[in-house]
Amino acid sequence: MVVHNAEGWLPRQLVALAGLNPRPGRLVAVDSGSTDGSAELLAKALAEGVVDDVITTATQPFGAAVAEALHDQEPEWIWLLHDDSAPRRDTLAHLVEGAKQADIVVPKLLEPKRRNYPETLSEVGQSITKGGLRVPLVEVGDIDQGQSESAEVLGASTAGLLIRGETWREVGGLAPEVERHRDGVDLCWRANAYGNRILTWPNAALTHRRAGHTGERESNEHPHVADRLAALRVVGARGASTAGLTLASVARAFGFLLAKSPSQAGAELKALRRYQSSAASTASLKDRLPAEDHTPPEFIPGRLWPVKHWLDKAGASITERYRDFTEPDTSIDELTGDDFTGVQNRRRVINPLTVLLSLLLVLSLIAGRRLYGVGDVAGGGLLPAPSTLGEAWQAYLTGEAPWLGIAASASVLGLGQPGWFTVAALVLTPVFAAWTMWRLIRRFEVGKPVAAALAGVWAVAVVLLGLVTAGDVTGMTLAVVGPLLASSLISVARNEAGGAERLRAPAVAAFWLLIVSAVWPTALILATVAGIGWIVRDRGRVVDVAVAVLPSWIFLAPWVPALVRHPGRLLTGVDPLAWPDYHPASWATVFGRILPSGLPLWANVAFFALLALVAAVALARLTRRAWVGVVVTVAAPLLIGTLLSRLVVEVDGGSARALSSPWALLVVAGLIAPIAAVQWGQLGMRRATSALTVAGLLAAGTWAVVGFNGPVGKAPTALPGYVRDVTTSTRDSRALMMELTPNDTVAWSVVDARQPQWGTGERNPAGPFAEDFAAIVNAIASGNPPDDLAERLRINGTSHVWVRGFGADHRVGVDNVAGMVSAPADDTTIVWTVSGLVSRAWLQADEDVEPIVDAQVPSGSGERTLVIAEPADANWRATVGGVELERADAVEERLAFALNGASGELRVEPAPHWWRFALHLAVFVALAILAAPTMSGPTGARRGLE
Amino acid sequence: MMRRILISAVALLVVAGVAAALSLISPMRRPAPAAVDLPRAAKLTCSLPGDVVVEGEGTPTVTPVAGGDSVDAAPGTAVAASTPVNVRADGDIAAGVVVAGTPRLFAPCASPTTTGVLLIDDPATAELLLTNADAAEASVDLRLIGPDGELSPVGSRGIAIAPGVTRPVALSILAPEGPVAVVYSTSHGRVAAVARNVEGRAARVVTPTDLREEHLIAGVPAGASSVKLLVTNPTENRVNVTTTAMGPGGSYEPASTTGLTLAPMTSQIVDVTADLSGEASTLRVVGDGELGASVITQVGTGAPTTLTDSASVTDLMGAAPSGATLQLTNPGTAAATVQTSEPGGEARTPVTIPAGATLAVESTARLRVTSETPLVGAMVVAGDEGAVVVPLAPAAGTPASPGTTVLDPELR
């Protein structure tokens, strides 16, 4: 038994040795340079006869210490013991039994026993990959149920290894080149190479503390250095290439960095450097190997073992998380509730969450019946989705608002079809909102029935507030993500982990805050203020707050200048200019009538009045402090939201009404909070909550009947197909649309291949030439179109004018303008085509104008300019034949590029903001790394000790 | 517990009550769309030959309808035109033709339209000139409404007019007896319509008006020897007509028009000469349905002059032969302070016009009139040989309203 600075656990080891039956013939302890109280303990053990001899040496490797103990003797059997590997009373007996069949007997190593926990496996033999990875032959941490059977193996830890004396001599004992760790594997592997039989004998068990691995035994350097160096040397001596090992080590070091363990990464690289600089040792070890290797090849794992192992671990992790997700821990409420008081343990067959989600899913699918089928879905605050996933990403890359990237990413959930994702989001938002609220409420150990009821209340409130039927994308997002953010913040508050593991909860909170802030920037302001307040109260939370809040600021940083220019945008949601000017309700605002939901007002009044009543009943059961807190939590957002609903704010390109839905959701959350806080067991609350559940069911049923009767619905384009074909062709032209509505208002818009769609409500929806188009619209509407109408349209890249509902005078007025060719689309609609094949891009040489209709720039000479129907300062780029063109002086205040003699295929498009994409990606990757499980190697905390 | 529940409920009620009170605050309105600089390219068509007089902004040009070189027409000067012409400008303009002959006549130029009505007291001596000043062919349908109902003469439908062509239509054939209202409408294109006496008869011009419920007809000259109101009801319902005369002393209802009612599809002429007592006047004609109205006035022994509806605006302009008298009428309910000036010249002393009254003052050849309240007016040159009445036209800054235009991203 080799001992080194083992004062902390040596007494237990010695007690175990004292109890051995049978004892070994001679038990020699080698004190390898201990500087603590180990020597005294050993002396005492010697005096008490626990050990037969104590040899004190300078600090030296395990193998050298063993050699010192053996001198030149060759006992029949050698039993190697660590100072932290306590054998059971009968361990040696079992090993001897196994020795009848093997040259080296490998015992079963168990993890230290924990109170009230069963024994768990640490190791029953091991192997090693060609890259030096340790390959356990049992699942570390599995409960020891005697499931392991005796088997031949490649190697094992030296702890408890019983070696035939002849074999020891034959293989030359432990190799000094493998100083610590893996020395057992090397020994056994060499024994295998000589044709010896290495056999595990699970009946023989030792409790292996692994003090060296876990860092309990103090060391000057990271324990991984020695372990990895030994592994490299073991496999290097057996033919592994240095280049391959270098590559693998660097990759592993990078992986350790991703797993937030820089010390482990440093140790990996340090071991690699030492290995590379000690080729002589590797060669020496190699010389110890026999000329002919008898090692059974099946003992060595295949090359793909690391990949399979990683996938296996990842799959197990996912499975475990899914189980945690679907089977939350039993709450105190349940353990003390009626369910556990009966004589019989009744098993709940149907989970309330399953019932809730199933019911909501069915009702939502019925309610969304008008949205299914071919065609865009839009209306209210919801603009049409881009046609393809690529266009969604293009909108993000060329647009300004960061939420477009999140929307493009989320579109993957719609099988890559943003339109499908839109429909799914509209229909399923109440379902997901219920689910996330359920998870939040369950964090407070609220019983499942109450949690399900309140999650249902939340979902119904989302519907009655009109978030889905009015296309309030911000409200929909907050309804789903808000509870997740709240839940993650609770995790941050309760976070007691240390080291890198401590960053996980704030990183998750940062992710959800980022999503929320992207759609509602006010949230970031509020979170920042709250975070600063938290830091002032508890300075130990600086890192938590920084990790939770800063990523959102970094993510939104490119957008901040726009927010500073238009601070009103902070009070609005996504695409603020997409909203028609809905006149805010008056008193009905208090009942959640903040948007035209298309649902009957009585449903709002009845539901929210009942919710407030139940909340009042619940409030009465709270402590005074909690009572005040809840009332303030309800009052503040209600009053702020009501006031803001009266406001109109300036945003980029126009003005919009402040968004009320976030505040309304906060009010609903505030009303739910006291109900959740009161225990289900109270009879009054049970009745009240049941009544609320019934009201919620009735409201949800009403929605199922009424369906999407608000602004959101199928929104087919009114433009004839031939116009759309032109606007989406290489001509990339615009179409001006005008309609005289029944209330004598002239509605108008400008349509092209990129608008209207997600994000175009972040600036003037008519595009950069809104004022020009407004003048044209006014002129046409006043019956006095200018003679140069066609030219005005041409320089704006407008190929068609679509007009509906106007009288003959207006139509004839345009008809008589030169260059406008009319064609009736239906009884009330005329489409004028601007003659001359108008395109967004044209060639200009002196006064000659030649539209580019097929994306091909013809060859030519002289001073030619490519003019784009975009503002002179527009961030567009143009390439001809793959060569990017340089900008030229603006032509008629339009963007121009110097073309000269260039010819070939023309590509003109908005310039993507790649640097912003890189920044956003970096933030997400950083958050993913921070939120990912921290590497819990041997030096990490063990589950049982957490 | 009940007490605590009540307190909690009251607390929430108070919060809701405060919120409800806040919700009664009138929401801010979205600002109206920014004012846009409307393209003011104007195009008027003058169907009759004569001296074209233009007043207004920009640099007007006069171009023959049938094609040809353009001639610049500086405001205040006359351009001789022997054929129908188009007058174009980059701003708002008013133009008319001082028709040569005896007596001298003034015929306002007008934008081509798709519909209109000409009220003619003696169709036997008149012909209709339909000018297509546009680049596309026009097709015109005529409806003739006489005193006993609608006439259905052959040749009144589908009158095709090629671009740049002026086509005369002899009303003496279509409607030998008057009075008659000629309601024209186009199925394609648009036309400029005007009626005039056939050659050999005293020169006379009738310009079109719109069908509407209210007409303000300004420019009845002082000393008129004959003033007749000609009204037509083109609808299928009876229309009751109320007429108000606005003279120097204020407004009153002419006795001759009391109880005036028009049977469906009929035209009627009423002599109000005695009611006006030879005073410079403006007539307001209001019906309980759409109707057309004009006033036929005669001074001395000259040919009658037909007056039609004038625009009631705060900024007026006009140009007339020298010696004109300016007649301004305030159709509002409050007195109006009016500023007159010659374009480019100094403003004259403001004058006040009582509500519902007409004021006659000396005029210059070119005139700009501004007021805080809408006015109608005309420049009148009256003599023994008749009267030239030039109605004042809206000046720059009062373009036709496009109505409310709203950017609507849902339109796609």
Is A461 in a helix, a strand, or coil?
Answer: helix
Lowest mean pLDDT among A341-355, A586-600, A692-706: A341-355
User: So what's the pLDDT on residue A638?
Assistant: 93
The answer to whether residues A707 and A468 touch, using CB atoms and an 8 Å cutoff, is no
Please determine, for residue A347, whether its predicted confidence score (pLDDT) is greater than 60.
no
Token pair for residue A880? 């001809």
Rounded to two decimals, the pTM is 0.72
Which residue out of B6, B8, B37, B65 would a mutagenesis test of the A interface target, given it has the greatest number of A Cβ atoms within 10 Å? B8
Longest C-alpha distance within chain A, in Å? 121
Task: Give pLDDT tens digits for A4-26.
Answer: 999 989 999 999 999 998 999 99
User: So what's the pLDDT on residue A344?
Assistant: 46
HEC assignment per residue over A185-235: HHHHHHHHHCCCCEEEEEEEEEEECCHHHHCCCCCCCCHHHHHHHHHHHHH
Please determine, for residue A944, whether its predicted confidence score (pLDDT) is greater than 70.
no
Q: How far apart are CA B40 and CA B399, in angstroms?
A: 8
User: So what's the pLDDT on residue A515?
Assistant: 95
Q: Which residues of A touch B42 (CB under 8 A)?
A: 784
Task: Give pLDDT tens digits for B245-283.
Answer: 999 999 999 999 999 999 999 999 999 999 998 999 999
Q: Do the Cβ atoms of A812 and B189 come within 8 Å? A: yes
Average the pLDDT over A138-157 and give the result.
90
For residue B267, the surrounding DSSP H or E stretch is: strand B266-271
Token pair for residue A645? 């609903």
Lowest mean pLDDT among A272-276, A391-395, A941-945, B168-172: A941-945
Average the pLDDT over A65-94 and give the result.
91
Please determine, for residue B178, whether its predicted confidence score (pLDDT) is greater than 80.
no
- Report how far apart the first and last C-alpha atoms of chain B are (Å, whole number): 59
Average pLDDT of chain B, as a whole number: 86
Q: Do the Cβ atoms of A747 and B411 come within 8 Å? A: yes
Lowest mean pLDDT among A341-355, A420-434, A573-587, A780-794: A341-355
User: So what's the pLDDT on residue A342?
Assistant: 44
User: So what's the pLDDT on residue A739?
Assistant: 92
Average the pLDDT over B57-73 and give the result.
83
User: So what's the pLDDT on residue A175?
Assistant: 92
Q: ipTM score of the complex?
A: 0.72
- Looking at chain A, the whole-number percentage of residues with pLDDT higher than 90 is 57
Chain B nearest CA to A849, separation (Å)? 23
Q: Do the Cβ atoms of B4 and A620 come within 8 Å? A: yes
Average pLDDT of chain A, as a whole number: 88
Please determine, for residue A741, whether its predicted confidence score (pLDDT) is greater than 90.
no
Chains A–B, number of C-beta pairs less than 8 Å apart:
218
User: So what's the pLDDT on residue A937?
Assistant: 53
Q: Do the Cβ atoms of A765 and B407 come within 8 Å? A: yes
HEC assignment per residue over B144-205: EEECCEEECCCCCCCEEECCCCEEEEEHHHHCCCCCEEEEEEEEECCEEEEEEECCCCCCCE
Average the pLDDT over A593-621 and give the result.
89
Q: Do the Cβ atoms of B31 and A590 come within 8 Å? A: no
User: So what's the pLDDT on residue A114?
Assistant: 81
Lowest mean pLDDT among A245-259, A387-401, B11-25, B312-326: B312-326
A213 vs A515 pLDDT, higher one? A515
Backbone angles phi, psi at A134, to 5 degrees: -75, 135
Which residue out of A382, A572, A590, A659 would a mutagenesis test of the B interface target, given it has the greatest number of B Cβ atoms within 10 Å? A590
Please determine, for residue A684, whether its predicted confidence score (pLDDT) is greater than 70.
no
Token pair for residue A591? 């009942």
Task: Give pLDDT tens digits for A400-455.
Answer: 889 999 999 999 888 888 999 999 999 999 999 999 999 999 888 888 888 899 99
Average the pLDDT over A490-518 and give the result.
89
User: So what's the pLDDT on residue A366?
Assistant: 94
Task: Give pLDDT tens digits for A625-637.
Answer: 889 999 999 999 9
- Residue in B29, B399, B405 nearest the CB of A777: B405
Token pair for residue A677? 């806080």
Closest residue in A to B400 (Cα–Cα): A782
Q: Do the Cβ atoms of B39 and A788 come within 8 Å? A: yes
User: CB under 8 Å, gap of 24 or more: what pairs does A626-629 form?
Assistant: A626/A674, A626/A677, A627/B8
Token pair for residue B189? 């294109």
- Residue in B30, B404, B410 nearest the CB of A746: B404
Most confident of A34-38, A551-555, B167-171: A551-555
Q: Do the Cβ atoms of A809 and B409 come within 8 Å? A: no
User: So what's the pLDDT on residue A945?
Assistant: 36
Map tokens 């005293």 to a residue: B202
The answer to whether residues A210 and A249 touch, using CB atoms and an 8 Å cutoff, is no
- Looking at chain B, the whole-number percentage of residues with pLDDT higher than 70 is 93
Average the pLDDT over A230-242 and give the result.
93
User: So what's the pLDDT on residue A54?
Assistant: 93
Which residue out of A649, A792, A816, A820 would a mutagenesis test of the B interface target, given it has the greatest number of B Cβ atoms within 10 Å? A816
- Looking at chain A, the whole-number percentage of residues with pLDDT higher than 70 is 95
Please determine, for residue A682, whether its predicted confidence score (pLDDT) is greater than 80.
no
Closest residue in B to A745 (Cα–Cα): B404
